[in-house]
Chain A
Amino acid sequence: MNPSRLLIAFACLAFLASCAPLQPGPAPVLACPKQSPAELSAYQNALGPLSDSDTLLCALAVLRQAQDSPLNRTALGSRLYLHLAERETDPRQREHYAAAGVKSAEAAFALGAKNDGAVHYYLAANLGLLVREQVTLAVQNLGRLAQEMRLAVALSPGLDEGGPLRLLGALYLKAPAWPDGMGDLDQALALLERAANEYPRHPINHLFYAQALWSEGDETHQAQARTAFSLGQKLLAEGDWGYSNAAWAKEFAVFAEEMGMEEAQSHLEPRSRANSRRFVSCAYCG
Protein backbone atom coordinates (compact mmCIF):
# COMPACT_ATOMS: atom_id res chain seq x y z
CA MET A 1 0.00 0.00 0.00
CA ASN A 2 1.35 3.42 -0.87
CA PRO A 3 0.17 6.91 -0.01
CA SER A 4 -2.19 7.06 -2.97
CA ARG A 5 -4.20 4.25 -1.47
CA LEU A 6 -4.03 5.87 1.89
CA LEU A 7 -5.27 9.15 0.56
CA ILE A 8 -8.22 7.46 -1.01
CA ALA A 9 -9.04 5.68 2.15
CA PHE A 10 -8.62 8.81 4.21
CA ALA A 11 -10.97 10.67 1.98
CA CYS A 12 -13.39 7.83 2.32
CA LEU A 13 -13.26 7.91 6.05
CA ALA A 14 -13.65 11.64 6.04
CA PHE A 15 -16.74 11.26 3.97
CA LEU A 16 -18.19 8.69 6.31
CA ALA A 17 -17.50 10.84 9.28
CA SER A 18 -18.87 14.05 7.95
CA CYS A 19 -21.86 13.12 5.87
CA ALA A 20 -25.27 11.83 6.75
CA PRO A 21 -26.52 8.82 4.83
CA LEU A 22 -27.54 9.63 1.33
CA GLN A 23 -31.17 10.59 0.98
CA PRO A 24 -32.79 10.91 -2.40
CA GLY A 25 -34.13 14.32 -3.20
CA PRO A 26 -37.84 14.93 -3.43
CA ALA A 27 -39.45 13.45 -6.49
CA PRO A 28 -40.14 16.21 -9.00
CA VAL A 29 -43.75 16.86 -9.88
CA LEU A 30 -43.91 16.78 -13.62
CA ALA A 31 -46.63 17.27 -16.11
CA CYS A 32 -45.54 14.55 -18.46
CA PRO A 33 -47.25 14.03 -21.76
CA LYS A 34 -49.07 10.73 -21.95
CA GLN A 35 -46.94 8.31 -23.87
CA SER A 36 -46.67 4.58 -24.29
CA PRO A 37 -43.55 2.45 -24.08
CA ALA A 38 -43.83 1.95 -27.82
CA GLU A 39 -43.78 5.70 -28.39
CA LEU A 40 -40.83 6.06 -26.06
CA SER A 41 -39.06 3.27 -27.89
CA ALA A 42 -39.52 5.09 -31.16
CA TYR A 43 -37.66 8.20 -30.03
CA GLN A 44 -35.33 6.78 -27.38
CA ASN A 45 -32.24 7.42 -29.46
CA ALA A 46 -33.04 11.11 -29.52
CA LEU A 47 -32.83 11.29 -25.74
CA GLY A 48 -29.44 12.45 -24.63
CA PRO A 49 -27.35 15.43 -23.63
CA LEU A 50 -29.50 17.78 -25.66
CA SER A 51 -32.74 16.70 -23.99
CA ASP A 52 -34.04 18.76 -21.11
CA SER A 53 -34.25 17.10 -17.73
CA ASP A 54 -38.04 17.01 -17.63
CA THR A 55 -38.09 15.06 -20.86
CA LEU A 56 -35.65 12.54 -19.42
CA LEU A 57 -37.63 12.23 -16.19
CA CYS A 58 -40.85 11.72 -18.09
CA ALA A 59 -39.24 8.99 -20.14
CA LEU A 60 -38.08 7.32 -16.95
CA ALA A 61 -41.61 7.55 -15.59
CA VAL A 62 -42.82 5.63 -18.62
CA LEU A 63 -40.22 2.96 -18.00
CA ARG A 64 -41.19 2.64 -14.36
CA GLN A 65 -44.87 2.27 -15.21
CA ALA A 66 -44.24 -0.36 -17.87
CA GLN A 67 -42.27 -2.96 -15.99
CA ASP A 68 -42.97 -5.62 -18.58
CA SER A 69 -41.80 -3.52 -21.49
CA PRO A 70 -38.82 -4.82 -23.46
CA LEU A 71 -37.28 -1.39 -22.91
CA ASN A 72 -36.55 -2.43 -19.35
CA ARG A 73 -34.25 -5.12 -20.69
CA THR A 74 -32.11 -2.46 -22.33
CA ALA A 75 -29.70 0.22 -21.14
CA LEU A 76 -32.21 3.01 -21.73
CA GLY A 77 -33.12 3.62 -18.10
CA SER A 78 -29.52 3.52 -16.97
CA ARG A 79 -28.51 5.83 -19.78
CA LEU A 80 -31.20 8.38 -18.95
CA TYR A 81 -30.25 8.38 -15.30
CA LEU A 82 -26.65 8.94 -16.31
CA HIS A 83 -27.58 11.99 -18.37
CA LEU A 84 -29.49 13.38 -15.41
CA ALA A 85 -26.65 12.64 -13.03
CA GLU A 86 -24.02 14.23 -15.21
CA ARG A 87 -25.82 17.54 -15.45
CA GLU A 88 -26.93 17.62 -11.81
CA THR A 89 -25.08 20.16 -9.69
CA ASP A 90 -26.40 19.00 -6.31
CA PRO A 91 -24.03 16.20 -5.25
CA ARG A 92 -26.68 14.28 -3.37
CA GLN A 93 -29.16 14.39 -6.17
CA ARG A 94 -26.40 13.40 -8.58
CA GLU A 95 -25.60 10.37 -6.47
CA HIS A 96 -29.28 9.54 -6.29
CA TYR A 97 -29.53 9.52 -10.07
CA ALA A 98 -26.34 7.54 -10.48
CA ALA A 99 -27.48 4.96 -7.94
CA ALA A 100 -30.78 4.69 -9.76
CA GLY A 101 -28.86 4.20 -12.98
CA VAL A 102 -26.97 1.32 -11.45
CA LYS A 103 -30.20 -0.26 -10.22
CA SER A 104 -31.81 0.16 -13.61
CA ALA A 105 -28.93 -1.69 -15.25
CA GLU A 106 -29.10 -4.42 -12.64
CA ALA A 107 -32.81 -4.77 -13.31
CA ALA A 108 -32.05 -5.12 -17.02
CA PHE A 109 -29.57 -7.87 -16.23
CA ALA A 110 -32.20 -9.64 -14.18
CA LEU A 111 -34.45 -9.55 -17.23
CA GLY A 112 -31.80 -11.16 -19.41
CA ALA A 113 -29.56 -8.37 -20.69
CA LYS A 114 -26.27 -9.85 -19.54
CA ASN A 115 -24.82 -9.91 -23.04
CA ASP A 116 -25.80 -6.34 -23.78
CA GLY A 117 -22.62 -4.27 -23.77
CA ALA A 118 -24.58 -1.05 -23.39
CA VAL A 119 -26.06 -2.19 -20.09
CA HIS A 120 -22.61 -3.02 -18.77
CA TYR A 121 -21.33 0.30 -20.03
CA TYR A 122 -24.01 2.47 -18.47
CA LEU A 123 -23.89 0.50 -15.26
CA ALA A 124 -20.18 1.17 -15.09
CA ALA A 125 -20.65 4.82 -15.98
CA ASN A 126 -23.21 5.35 -13.24
CA LEU A 127 -21.12 3.38 -10.79
CA GLY A 128 -18.19 5.56 -11.78
CA LEU A 129 -20.15 8.62 -10.77
CA LEU A 130 -20.94 7.06 -7.43
CA VAL A 131 -17.31 6.16 -7.00
CA ARG A 132 -16.34 9.68 -7.75
CA GLU A 133 -18.49 11.08 -5.01
CA GLN A 134 -18.05 8.42 -2.35
CA VAL A 135 -14.60 7.02 -2.14
CA THR A 136 -15.73 4.23 0.14
CA LEU A 137 -17.65 2.85 -2.75
CA ALA A 138 -14.59 3.18 -4.92
CA VAL A 139 -12.64 0.92 -2.63
CA GLN A 140 -15.48 -1.54 -2.33
CA ASN A 141 -16.54 -1.57 -5.96
CA LEU A 142 -13.31 -1.20 -7.86
CA GLY A 143 -13.33 -4.81 -8.96
CA ARG A 144 -16.90 -4.68 -10.11
CA LEU A 145 -16.34 -1.42 -11.89
CA ALA A 146 -13.43 -2.90 -13.79
CA GLN A 147 -15.32 -6.06 -14.62
CA GLU A 148 -18.29 -4.15 -16.04
CA MET A 149 -16.02 -1.94 -18.07
CA ARG A 150 -14.08 -4.88 -19.46
CA LEU A 151 -17.32 -6.56 -20.50
CA ALA A 152 -18.46 -3.34 -22.16
CA VAL A 153 -15.17 -3.11 -24.04
CA ALA A 154 -15.45 -6.71 -25.15
CA LEU A 155 -19.09 -6.46 -26.23
CA SER A 156 -19.49 -2.90 -27.51
CA PRO A 157 -16.22 -0.95 -27.69
CA GLY A 158 -17.61 1.63 -30.09
CA LEU A 159 -20.68 2.50 -28.08
CA ASP A 160 -21.00 6.21 -27.30
CA GLU A 161 -17.98 7.12 -29.42
CA GLY A 162 -15.65 4.66 -27.76
CA GLY A 163 -17.20 5.11 -24.33
CA PRO A 164 -16.16 1.71 -22.95
CA LEU A 165 -12.59 2.28 -24.09
CA ARG A 166 -12.67 5.75 -22.58
CA LEU A 167 -14.01 4.55 -19.25
CA LEU A 168 -11.74 1.58 -18.81
CA GLY A 169 -8.76 3.63 -19.93
CA ALA A 170 -9.62 6.28 -17.38
CA LEU A 171 -9.93 3.67 -14.67
CA TYR A 172 -6.49 2.29 -15.44
CA LEU A 173 -5.15 5.82 -15.48
CA LYS A 174 -6.68 7.00 -12.23
CA ALA A 175 -6.77 3.95 -10.00
CA PRO A 176 -3.88 3.28 -7.60
CA ALA A 177 -1.10 1.54 -9.45
CA TRP A 178 0.32 -1.91 -8.78
CA PRO A 179 0.99 -3.24 -6.22
CA ASP A 180 -1.71 -1.19 -4.50
CA GLY A 181 -4.37 -1.44 -7.13
CA MET A 182 -5.28 -2.03 -10.74
CA GLY A 183 -3.92 1.27 -12.03
CA ASP A 184 -1.75 0.69 -15.07
CA LEU A 185 -0.47 3.51 -17.22
CA ASP A 186 0.47 1.19 -20.08
CA GLN A 187 -3.05 -0.19 -20.30
CA ALA A 188 -4.48 3.30 -19.97
CA LEU A 189 -2.39 4.61 -22.82
CA ALA A 190 -3.32 1.74 -25.09
CA LEU A 191 -7.06 2.08 -24.49
CA LEU A 192 -7.17 5.85 -24.59
CA GLU A 193 -5.04 6.08 -27.69
CA ARG A 194 -7.42 3.66 -29.36
CA ALA A 195 -10.42 5.70 -28.21
CA ALA A 196 -8.89 8.93 -29.50
CA ASN A 197 -7.86 7.44 -32.84
CA GLU A 198 -10.88 5.29 -33.60
CA TYR A 199 -13.49 7.66 -32.18
CA PRO A 200 -11.94 11.08 -32.70
CA ARG A 201 -15.15 13.11 -32.51
CA HIS A 202 -15.55 12.85 -28.76
CA PRO A 203 -13.71 15.63 -26.88
CA ILE A 204 -13.20 13.58 -23.73
CA ASN A 205 -11.39 10.85 -25.64
CA HIS A 206 -8.69 13.42 -26.38
CA LEU A 207 -8.71 14.87 -22.89
CA PHE A 208 -8.20 11.52 -21.23
CA TYR A 209 -5.57 10.56 -23.75
CA ALA A 210 -3.83 13.84 -23.01
CA GLN A 211 -3.93 13.06 -19.30
CA ALA A 212 -2.40 9.65 -19.88
CA LEU A 213 0.34 11.10 -22.06
CA TRP A 214 1.02 13.79 -19.49
CA SER A 215 1.43 11.15 -16.83
CA GLU A 216 4.49 9.86 -18.64
CA GLY A 217 6.27 12.93 -17.38
CA ASP A 218 8.76 13.48 -20.19
CA GLU A 219 8.82 16.36 -22.62
CA THR A 220 8.01 14.30 -25.70
CA HIS A 221 4.85 12.87 -24.24
CA GLN A 222 3.88 16.18 -22.74
CA ALA A 223 4.10 17.83 -26.13
CA GLN A 224 1.82 15.11 -27.47
CA ALA A 225 -0.47 15.67 -24.50
CA ARG A 226 -0.80 19.35 -25.36
CA THR A 227 -1.69 18.46 -28.92
CA ALA A 228 -4.35 15.99 -27.82
CA PHE A 229 -5.66 18.48 -25.28
CA SER A 230 -5.95 21.22 -27.88
CA LEU A 231 -7.80 18.93 -30.26
CA GLY A 232 -10.26 17.94 -27.57
CA GLN A 233 -10.75 21.54 -26.53
CA LYS A 234 -11.45 22.50 -30.14
CA LEU A 235 -14.01 19.72 -30.50
CA LEU A 236 -15.68 20.81 -27.30
CA ALA A 237 -15.87 24.42 -28.40
CA GLU A 238 -17.15 23.67 -31.88
CA GLY A 239 -19.68 20.96 -31.02
CA ASP A 240 -23.11 21.12 -29.46
CA TRP A 241 -22.73 18.90 -26.43
CA GLY A 242 -25.82 20.13 -24.65
CA TYR A 243 -25.89 19.66 -20.94
CA SER A 244 -22.58 17.81 -21.05
CA ASN A 245 -20.76 20.93 -22.16
CA ALA A 246 -20.39 22.60 -18.77
CA ALA A 247 -19.05 19.54 -16.97
CA TRP A 248 -16.63 18.73 -19.75
CA ALA A 249 -15.43 22.31 -20.00
CA LYS A 250 -14.74 22.27 -16.31
CA GLU A 251 -12.71 19.09 -16.64
CA PHE A 252 -10.68 20.62 -19.44
CA ALA A 253 -10.08 23.68 -17.31
CA VAL A 254 -8.93 21.63 -14.34
CA PHE A 255 -6.45 19.72 -16.45
CA ALA A 256 -5.22 22.89 -18.12
CA GLU A 257 -4.49 24.28 -14.69
CA GLU A 258 -2.72 21.10 -13.71
CA MET A 259 -0.52 21.25 -16.77
CA GLY A 260 0.31 24.85 -16.07
CA MET A 261 1.01 24.20 -12.43
CA GLU A 262 3.29 21.30 -13.12
CA GLU A 263 5.10 23.09 -15.89
CA ALA A 264 5.94 25.83 -13.46
CA GLN A 265 7.66 23.29 -11.26
CA SER A 266 9.29 21.38 -14.06
CA HIS A 267 12.70 22.84 -13.48
CA LEU A 268 12.84 21.22 -10.10
CA GLU A 269 12.47 17.56 -10.78
CA PRO A 270 10.91 16.55 -14.08
CA ARG A 271 10.49 12.88 -13.30
CA SER A 272 8.34 13.53 -10.31
CA ARG A 273 5.77 15.29 -12.40
CA ALA A 274 4.64 12.01 -13.79
CA ASN A 275 1.62 10.09 -12.73
CA SER A 276 -0.50 12.96 -11.58
CA ARG A 277 -3.72 11.12 -11.28
CA ARG A 278 -7.09 11.54 -9.85
CA PHE A 279 -8.81 8.48 -8.68
CA VAL A 280 -11.70 7.35 -10.78
CA SER A 281 -13.45 10.40 -12.06
CA CYS A 282 -14.76 8.54 -15.03
CA ALA A 283 -18.17 10.04 -15.36
CA TYR A 284 -17.65 11.40 -18.83
CA CYS A 285 -19.50 8.90 -20.78
CA GLY A 286 -22.44 10.28 -22.65
Chain B
Amino acid sequence: MLKRLLTIAALLASCLTFAASQPEMIVVCYPGGSVNAADANAAMSSMLRVVERIGHWRENSFDSLFTTKTDECRKQMAEKNPKFAITSLGLFLALRDQNRLIPLAQPQLKGRTSEIYRVMVEKGQFQNLEELKGKTLGGTVLEEQAFIAKIVFAGNLDPASFFVLKPSNQAIRTLRSLAKGELDAVMLNQQQFDGLASLHLEKPLAVVFTSEEIPLLGVVADAAATTEAERGRFTKALAGMCDDPEGKKLCELFGIDAFAAADKSVFEPFIKRWTEER
Protein backbone atom coordinates (compact mmCIF):
# COMPACT_ATOMS: atom_id res chain seq x y z
CA MET B 1 0.00 0.00 0.00
CA LEU B 2 1.37 3.34 -0.97
CA LYS B 3 -0.71 5.68 1.08
CA ARG B 4 1.25 8.64 2.24
CA LEU B 5 4.32 7.30 0.63
CA LEU B 6 5.25 10.48 -1.06
CA THR B 7 5.01 12.15 2.27
CA ILE B 8 7.63 9.83 3.45
CA ALA B 9 9.77 10.82 0.52
CA ALA B 10 9.96 14.27 1.96
CA LEU B 11 10.95 12.89 5.26
CA LEU B 12 13.41 10.56 3.73
CA ALA B 13 15.32 13.34 2.11
CA SER B 14 15.44 15.28 5.33
CA CYS B 15 17.37 12.53 6.98
CA LEU B 16 20.14 12.07 4.50
CA THR B 17 23.44 13.79 4.48
CA PHE B 18 24.81 13.07 1.08
CA ALA B 19 27.66 15.33 0.19
CA ALA B 20 28.11 14.17 -3.35
CA SER B 21 27.51 16.65 -6.10
CA GLN B 22 25.12 14.35 -7.90
CA PRO B 23 21.61 14.36 -6.50
CA GLU B 24 20.70 11.25 -4.56
CA MET B 25 17.93 9.53 -6.48
CA ILE B 26 14.81 8.40 -4.68
CA VAL B 27 12.86 5.89 -6.72
CA VAL B 28 9.12 6.12 -6.12
CA CYS B 29 7.00 3.28 -7.49
CA TYR B 30 3.24 3.49 -7.52
CA PRO B 31 1.97 0.56 -9.57
CA GLY B 32 -1.30 1.25 -11.33
CA GLY B 33 -1.49 4.70 -9.85
CA SER B 34 -3.45 7.50 -11.37
CA VAL B 35 -0.68 10.04 -11.32
CA ASN B 36 1.07 11.32 -14.40
CA ALA B 37 4.78 10.65 -13.99
CA ALA B 38 5.84 14.05 -15.30
CA ASP B 39 3.51 15.82 -12.91
CA ALA B 40 4.54 13.58 -10.07
CA ASN B 41 8.22 14.21 -10.60
CA ALA B 42 7.61 17.94 -10.81
CA ALA B 43 5.71 17.88 -7.57
CA MET B 44 8.27 15.64 -5.94
CA SER B 45 10.93 18.09 -7.01
CA SER B 46 9.06 20.92 -5.33
CA MET B 47 8.68 18.83 -2.25
CA LEU B 48 12.35 17.96 -2.14
CA ARG B 49 13.32 21.60 -2.41
CA VAL B 50 11.25 22.31 0.69
CA VAL B 51 12.89 19.45 2.49
CA GLU B 52 16.33 20.69 1.51
CA ARG B 53 15.50 24.09 2.89
CA ILE B 54 14.12 22.69 6.12
CA GLY B 55 17.07 20.37 6.58
CA HIS B 56 19.70 22.92 5.53
CA TRP B 57 20.88 20.81 2.67
CA ARG B 58 22.21 22.24 -0.51
CA GLU B 59 19.48 22.83 -3.05
CA ASN B 60 19.06 19.99 -5.51
CA SER B 61 20.82 17.51 -3.27
CA PHE B 62 17.99 15.08 -3.96
CA ASP B 63 16.01 14.03 -6.93
CA SER B 64 13.13 11.67 -7.53
CA LEU B 65 12.17 9.20 -10.15
CA PHE B 66 8.48 8.37 -10.16
CA THR B 67 6.74 5.66 -12.09
CA THR B 68 3.38 3.96 -12.08
CA LYS B 69 4.65 1.12 -14.24
CA THR B 70 5.72 -2.04 -12.53
CA ASP B 71 8.21 -2.99 -15.23
CA GLU B 72 9.66 0.48 -15.26
CA CYS B 73 10.02 0.37 -11.50
CA ARG B 74 11.89 -2.91 -11.67
CA LYS B 75 14.13 -1.49 -14.37
CA GLN B 76 14.91 1.70 -12.47
CA MET B 77 15.53 -0.15 -9.25
CA ALA B 78 17.96 -2.40 -11.09
CA GLU B 79 19.73 0.41 -12.88
CA LYS B 80 19.80 3.10 -10.21
CA ASN B 81 20.25 0.87 -7.19
CA PRO B 82 18.83 3.60 -4.99
CA LYS B 83 19.81 3.77 -1.37
CA PHE B 84 16.23 4.48 -0.48
CA ALA B 85 12.97 3.94 -2.28
CA ILE B 86 9.25 4.14 -1.84
CA THR B 87 7.43 1.07 -3.05
CA SER B 88 4.28 -0.89 -2.52
CA LEU B 89 4.52 -3.90 -0.25
CA GLY B 90 4.17 -6.07 -3.32
CA LEU B 91 7.10 -4.45 -5.08
CA PHE B 92 9.14 -4.52 -1.91
CA LEU B 93 8.60 -8.26 -1.70
CA ALA B 94 9.32 -8.76 -5.36
CA LEU B 95 12.47 -6.63 -5.37
CA ARG B 96 13.71 -7.45 -1.90
CA ASP B 97 16.42 -9.88 -3.03
CA GLN B 98 17.51 -7.94 -6.07
CA ASN B 99 17.93 -4.65 -4.19
CA ARG B 100 18.64 -6.05 -0.73
CA LEU B 101 15.67 -4.08 0.57
CA ILE B 102 14.68 -3.76 4.17
CA PRO B 103 11.64 -1.84 5.45
CA LEU B 104 12.53 1.34 7.30
CA ALA B 105 9.41 3.26 8.18
CA GLN B 106 5.65 2.97 8.14
CA PRO B 107 3.04 5.71 8.23
CA GLN B 108 0.63 5.46 11.12
CA LEU B 109 -2.92 6.32 10.06
CA LYS B 110 -5.69 6.62 12.59
CA GLY B 111 -3.49 4.74 14.96
CA ARG B 112 -2.87 1.90 12.50
CA THR B 113 0.15 0.83 10.53
CA SER B 114 -1.71 -1.89 8.67
CA GLU B 115 -4.71 -2.27 6.40
CA ILE B 116 -7.27 -4.83 5.38
CA TYR B 117 -8.39 -5.81 1.89
CA ARG B 118 -11.98 -6.85 1.33
CA VAL B 119 -14.00 -8.49 -1.41
CA MET B 120 -17.39 -6.78 -1.64
CA VAL B 121 -20.60 -7.92 -3.29
CA GLU B 122 -24.11 -6.59 -3.46
CA LYS B 123 -25.83 -7.69 -0.30
CA GLY B 124 -27.70 -10.94 -0.82
CA GLN B 125 -26.13 -11.79 -4.16
CA PHE B 126 -23.37 -14.02 -2.82
CA GLN B 127 -22.85 -15.37 0.65
CA ASN B 128 -19.19 -16.33 0.57
CA LEU B 129 -16.06 -16.41 -1.52
CA GLU B 130 -16.72 -19.93 -2.82
CA GLU B 131 -19.88 -18.73 -4.54
CA LEU B 132 -17.78 -16.28 -6.52
CA LYS B 133 -15.82 -19.01 -8.30
CA GLY B 134 -15.79 -18.21 -12.00
CA LYS B 135 -17.39 -14.81 -11.40
CA THR B 136 -16.00 -11.42 -12.27
CA LEU B 137 -13.88 -9.54 -9.76
CA GLY B 138 -12.94 -5.91 -10.33
CA GLY B 139 -10.73 -3.48 -8.52
CA THR B 140 -7.82 -1.14 -8.75
CA VAL B 141 -5.77 -3.29 -6.43
CA LEU B 142 -5.66 -6.11 -8.96
CA GLU B 143 -2.73 -4.43 -10.67
CA GLU B 144 -0.34 -6.48 -8.55
CA GLN B 145 -1.80 -9.93 -9.00
CA ALA B 146 1.05 -11.82 -7.38
CA PHE B 147 0.66 -9.72 -4.27
CA ILE B 148 -3.08 -10.34 -4.20
CA ALA B 149 -2.55 -14.07 -4.60
CA LYS B 150 0.28 -14.56 -2.13
CA ILE B 151 -0.41 -11.94 0.48
CA VAL B 152 -4.03 -10.83 0.35
CA PHE B 153 -5.37 -14.34 -0.24
CA ALA B 154 -2.43 -15.79 1.71
CA GLY B 155 -1.72 -18.31 -1.03
CA ASN B 156 -5.06 -19.99 -0.48
CA LEU B 157 -6.57 -18.90 -3.75
CA ASP B 158 -5.19 -18.06 -7.17
CA PRO B 159 -7.29 -15.09 -8.25
CA ALA B 160 -6.33 -15.45 -11.91
CA SER B 161 -7.89 -18.90 -12.15
CA PHE B 162 -10.58 -18.53 -9.51
CA PHE B 163 -12.11 -15.30 -10.79
CA VAL B 164 -12.48 -13.58 -14.09
CA LEU B 165 -10.34 -10.60 -13.20
CA LYS B 166 -11.31 -7.13 -14.36
CA PRO B 167 -8.58 -4.75 -13.21
CA SER B 168 -9.36 -1.07 -13.39
CA ASN B 169 -7.69 2.18 -12.52
CA GLN B 170 -11.03 3.76 -11.58
CA ALA B 171 -12.23 2.63 -8.17
CA ILE B 172 -15.55 4.36 -8.46
CA ARG B 173 -16.17 2.82 -11.85
CA THR B 174 -15.78 -0.66 -10.43
CA LEU B 175 -18.44 0.13 -7.85
CA ARG B 176 -20.76 1.47 -10.54
CA SER B 177 -20.15 -1.68 -12.52
CA LEU B 178 -21.00 -3.71 -9.44
CA ALA B 179 -24.25 -1.78 -9.01
CA LYS B 180 -25.14 -2.35 -12.68
CA GLY B 181 -24.42 -6.05 -12.46
CA GLU B 182 -21.46 -5.82 -14.82
CA LEU B 183 -19.21 -7.08 -12.06
CA ASP B 184 -20.03 -9.71 -9.47
CA ALA B 185 -17.56 -8.52 -6.87
CA VAL B 186 -15.02 -5.80 -6.17
CA MET B 187 -11.86 -5.88 -4.11
CA LEU B 188 -11.26 -2.75 -2.06
CA ASN B 189 -8.33 -1.62 -0.02
CA GLN B 190 -8.80 0.03 3.35
CA GLN B 191 -8.90 3.55 2.00
CA GLN B 192 -11.56 2.65 -0.55
CA PHE B 193 -13.58 0.73 2.00
CA ASP B 194 -13.49 3.70 4.34
CA GLY B 195 -14.65 5.93 1.50
CA LEU B 196 -17.78 3.92 0.75
CA ALA B 197 -19.89 5.95 3.16
CA SER B 198 -19.33 9.06 1.08
CA LEU B 199 -20.89 7.45 -2.01
CA HIS B 200 -24.39 6.95 -0.63
CA LEU B 201 -24.85 3.78 -2.64
CA GLU B 202 -28.43 2.81 -3.43
CA LYS B 203 -27.84 -0.88 -2.90
CA PRO B 204 -25.98 -1.96 0.21
CA LEU B 205 -22.79 -3.95 -0.11
CA ALA B 206 -21.62 -6.91 1.90
CA VAL B 207 -18.18 -8.27 2.67
CA VAL B 208 -17.51 -11.86 1.63
CA PHE B 209 -13.78 -11.88 2.20
CA THR B 210 -11.59 -10.04 4.67
CA SER B 211 -7.84 -10.29 4.53
CA GLU B 212 -5.67 -10.37 7.56
CA GLU B 213 -3.99 -7.17 8.66
CA ILE B 214 -1.40 -6.32 6.03
CA PRO B 215 1.29 -3.84 7.00
CA LEU B 216 1.49 -0.46 5.34
CA LEU B 217 4.87 0.16 3.85
CA GLY B 218 6.60 3.44 3.39
CA VAL B 219 10.31 3.78 2.91
CA VAL B 220 12.65 0.93 2.20
CA ALA B 221 16.43 0.96 2.14
CA ASP B 222 19.14 -0.98 0.40
CA ALA B 223 20.77 -2.74 3.31
CA ALA B 224 24.08 -3.06 1.48
CA ALA B 225 24.25 0.49 0.14
CA THR B 226 23.40 2.18 3.44
CA THR B 227 25.04 1.95 6.80
CA GLU B 228 23.19 1.12 9.95
CA ALA B 229 23.97 4.62 11.16
CA GLU B 230 22.38 6.15 8.06
CA ARG B 231 19.30 4.04 8.42
CA GLY B 232 19.08 4.73 12.13
CA ARG B 233 19.43 8.44 11.65
CA PHE B 234 16.87 8.38 8.97
CA THR B 235 14.40 6.40 10.99
CA LYS B 236 14.86 8.65 13.99
CA ALA B 237 14.22 11.74 11.91
CA LEU B 238 11.07 10.19 10.53
CA ALA B 239 9.84 9.37 13.99
CA GLY B 240 10.20 12.99 15.02
CA MET B 241 8.78 14.45 11.88
CA CYS B 242 5.23 15.00 13.05
CA ASP B 243 6.50 16.95 16.06
CA ASP B 244 8.47 19.32 13.88
CA PRO B 245 6.59 22.58 13.16
CA GLU B 246 6.88 22.21 9.39
CA GLY B 247 6.57 18.46 9.45
CA LYS B 248 3.47 18.76 11.57
CA LYS B 249 1.73 20.63 8.76
CA LEU B 250 2.51 17.78 6.43
CA CYS B 251 1.31 15.21 8.89
CA GLU B 252 -1.95 17.05 9.58
CA LEU B 253 -2.58 17.66 5.92
CA PHE B 254 -2.30 13.97 5.14
CA GLY B 255 -3.99 12.69 8.25
CA ILE B 256 -0.87 10.96 9.42
CA ASP B 257 -0.54 10.52 13.15
CA ALA B 258 3.11 9.69 13.13
CA PHE B 259 5.83 7.74 11.40
CA ALA B 260 6.82 4.55 12.99
CA ALA B 261 10.07 2.73 12.64
CA ALA B 262 9.31 -0.44 10.75
CA ASP B 263 9.31 -3.49 12.93
CA LYS B 264 11.03 -6.11 10.82
CA SER B 265 9.23 -8.90 12.64
CA VAL B 266 5.94 -7.56 11.30
CA PHE B 267 7.14 -8.09 7.75
CA GLU B 268 8.84 -11.42 8.25
CA PRO B 269 5.71 -13.56 7.92
CA PHE B 270 4.88 -11.84 4.65
CA ILE B 271 8.41 -12.25 3.35
CA LYS B 272 8.29 -15.89 4.30
CA ARG B 273 4.95 -16.39 2.63
CA TRP B 274 6.11 -14.63 -0.51
CA THR B 275 9.22 -16.75 -0.69
CA GLU B 276 7.45 -20.00 0.01
CA GLU B 277 4.81 -19.43 -2.60
CA ARG B 278 7.26 -18.90 -5.40
Residues in A lying within 8 Å of B, measured CB to CB = 1-11, 13-15, 17-18, 176-179, 183-186, 217, 258, 261, 265, 268-269, 271-272, 274-279
Contacts and interface: CB of A to CB of B under 8 A. Distances in A.
Contacts of B18: none
Interface stretch (B30-38, B117-125, B226-234): B30-38
A276 B36 contact: yes
A77 B104 CA distance: 55
B3 interface: yes
Contact of A217 (B31, B169, B194, B250): B169
A258 B43 contact: no
Given A9-B253, A13-B249, A178-B199, A272 B47 contact: no
The main secondary structure of chain B at its interface with chain A is: helix
Contacts of A14: 43, 46-47, 49-50
B4 A6 contact: yes
> Which of B28, B172, B176, B199 has the largest count of A CB atoms less than 10 A from its CB?
B172
Interface string B26-56: 0010111111111110111011011001000
Contact of B39 (A2, A18, A278): A278
Contacts of B4: 1, 6
Contacts of B50: 10, 13-14, 17-18
A39 B216 CA distance: 65
Given A2-B2, A178-B199, A179-B191, A271 B169 contact: yes
A264 to B, nearest CB: 11
A15 B46 contact: yes
Q: Contact residue range for chain B?
A: 35 or more
B5 A3 contact: yes
A179 B198 contact: yes
B245 to A, nearest CB: 12
What are the 10 closest A-B residue pairs judged by CB atoms, nearest first? A179-B195, A14-B46, A10-B47, A7-B43, A275-B34, A276-B36, A6-B6, A178-B172, A11-B43, A268-B71
Contacts of A265: 69, 72
A186 B3 contact: no
B178 interface: no
Contact of A178 (B43, B167, B195, B254): B195
B69 A269 contact: yes
Contact of A185 (B3, B69, B173): B173
Interface in B53-99: 53, 68-72
Contacts of A276: 36-37
B192 interface: yes
A6 to B, nearest CB: 4
B247 to A, nearest CB: 11
Nearest to A7: B43
Contacts of A10: 6-7, 10, 43-44, 46-47, 50
Contacts of A18: 46, 49-50, 53
B255 interface: yes
A177 B172 contact: yes
A211 B272 CA distance: 43
> Which of B7, B34, B173, B254 has the largest count of A CB atoms less than 10 A from its CB?
B34
Contacts of B3: 1-2
B69 A7 contact: no
A274 B169 contact: yes
Given A14-B47, A265-B69, A279-B39, A2 B172 contact: no
B255 A1 contact: yes
B197 to A, nearest CB: 10
A166 B40 CA distance: 24
B115 interface: no
A177 to B, nearest CB: 6
A160 B169 CA distance: 33
Given A9-B254, A14-B43, 16 more contacts: A2-B34, A2-B191, A3-B5, A3-B6, A3-B35, A3-B40, A6-B6, A7-B6, A7-B44, A8-B43, A14-B47, A178-B172, A183-B34, A184-B172, A185-B173, A271-B32
Nearest to A186: B173
A33 to B, nearest CB: 44
